[in-house]
């Protein structure tokens, strides 16, 4: 996403440089252009944030016990975002659907033993330390 912002800024710089007064020295042309190009790069950051939010928007927030909520879902009932988050926790279609396939290692870890990435995925799926540690009991 940063590449797009830099390309857009470069494009703006080029168009402003050609539109500037031909009599002005090159250094005088470049200073205002560089100042105006920086906000263009800043505008790209909110666009990236919107894209990340859109990707997360297909993740449901369970009410009540998240373990009960997710246990009642088949793998194919999960959205792509939900599957991705469960994937971070080691879940696949096979171990989600087949009781004969062992659960991922994260399933046996306490909250404080999960990696930061696993905690973030679990949080996005509606878990917190208490609900994670009480899951399956």
Q: What pLDDT is attached to residue 57?
A: 75
Contacts of 94 (CB under 8 A, 6+ apart): 101
Q: Give the DSSP per-residue string, 78-127.
A: S-HHHHHHHHHTT--HHHHH-TTSPPPGGGGS-GGGS-HHHHHHHHHTT-
Distance CA(82)–CA(60), nearest Å, equals 8
Asked if 17 contacts 33 with a C-beta cutoff of 8 angstroms, the reply is: yes
For every residue of 24-83, which 3-state class applies, written as one string?
CCHHHHHHHHHHHHHHHHHHHHHHHHHHHHHHHCCCCCCCCCHHHHHHCCCHHHCCHHHH
Q: What pLDDT is attached to residue 135?
A: 84
Q: What pLDDT is attached to residue 13?
A: 40
* Structure-model confidence comparison of residues 129 and 50, the more confident one: 129
Model confidence band, residue 123 (pLDDT cutoffs 50, 70, 90): very high
Structural domain spans, the chain: 2-56, 66-134
pLDDT at 20 over 50: no
Q: Write out pLDDT tens, residues 33-81.
A: 445 555 554 554 554 444 444 445 799 999 899 999 999 999 999 999 9
Query: Across residues 16-36, what is the average pLDDT?
Result: 49
Query: Across residues 15-22, what is the average pLDDT?
Result: 44
Distance CA(8)–CA(40), nearest Å, equals 7
Q: What's the pTM?
A: 0.59
| Angle at CA of residue 54, ends 53 and 60, nearest 5° | 85
């Amino acid at each position: 996403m940063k590449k797009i912002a830099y390309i857009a800024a470069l494009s703006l710089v080029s168009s402003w440089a050609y539109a500037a007064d031909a009599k002005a020295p090159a250094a005088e042309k470049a200073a205002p252009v560089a100042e105006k190009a920086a906000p263009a790069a800043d505008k790209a950051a909110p666009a990236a944030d919107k894209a990340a939010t859109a990707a997360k928007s297909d993740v449901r927030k369970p009410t009540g016990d998240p373990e009960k909520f997710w246990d009642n879902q088949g793998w194919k009932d999960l959205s792509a975002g939900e599957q991705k988050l469960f994937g971070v926790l080691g879940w696949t279609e096979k171990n989600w659907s087949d009781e004969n396939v062992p659960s991922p290692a994260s399933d046996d870890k306490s909250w404080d033993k999960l990696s930061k990435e696993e905690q973030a995925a679990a949080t996005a799926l509606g878990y917190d330390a208490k609900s994670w540690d009480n899951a399956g009991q």
